[in-house]
Amino acid sequence: MDDLTTAIRSPDKAKEIKVIRRVCQSGQMRKVKPTKVDLFLETSSNEQYLFDIKTAKPNAGGFKEFKRTLLEWVAAACASNPNVKIHTVIAIPYNPYEPQPYDRWTMKGMLDLDHELKVGAEFWDFIGGRGTYEDLLDCFEQVGTTTYSV
């Protein structure tokens, strides 16, 4: 965290997990209470995906804490099982800049954007399969254009 905060190094999720794995079973174990996971998925090949779901425009200052949460989840999972196949991800369910790409500059330098962030279609299609995001948008549009009488 210190090296990321001071920009001594760039985020690299694979290297960060490797460093955590090297120390995850050493020293004195302490009980911790990590931030709750918003969405937990496990594949048939036992890969685990832990998602922290954020608003479409999170505060730029919060990314340091987001990164800390992702790393703490990795550490907690590796302390229980050092061989766990783990992915910790910030998910932003909606891209307010659509059709333009999500403006990720506020996260650069803290998150490994290719491995720790899924936005809009990338998130929904990952958890629900190709086309899920478009189906979801269609549902919202139908509900939004339907008139109801009370």
Report domain extents, the chain.
Answer: 2-145
Q: Give the pLDDT of residue 100.
A: 87
pLDDT tens for 15-24 read: 999 999 998 8
Residues 16-52: b if buried by 16+ CB within 10 A, e if exposed: bbeebbeebeeeeeeeeeeeebeeeeeeeeeebbbbb
Amino acid at 52: D
At 96 the pLDDT is 85
Per the DSSP assignment, residues forming a β-bridge with 39 are: 51
Q: What are phi and psi of 23, to 5 degrees?
A: -115, 0
- Encode pLDDT of 95-119 as tens digits: 888 888 887 666 778 889 899 999 9
Mean pLDDT of 59-81: 88
pLDDT above 90 coverage of the chain, percent: 53
Asked whether the predicted pLDDT for residue 4 surpasses 90, the reply is: no
Of the CATH numbers 3.90.320, 3.40.1560, 3.40.50, 3.30.70, which one belongs to the domain with range 2-145? 3.40.1560
Mean pLDDT of the chain: 88
Residue 14 has pLDDT above 80, yes or no: yes
What global pTM score does this model have?
0.86
Q: How far apart are CA 47 and CA 100, in angstroms?
A: 31
Query: pLDDT tens across 33-52, in order?
Result: 888 999 999 999 999 999 99
Measured between alpha carbons, how far is 37 from 39 in angstroms, rounded to an integer? 6
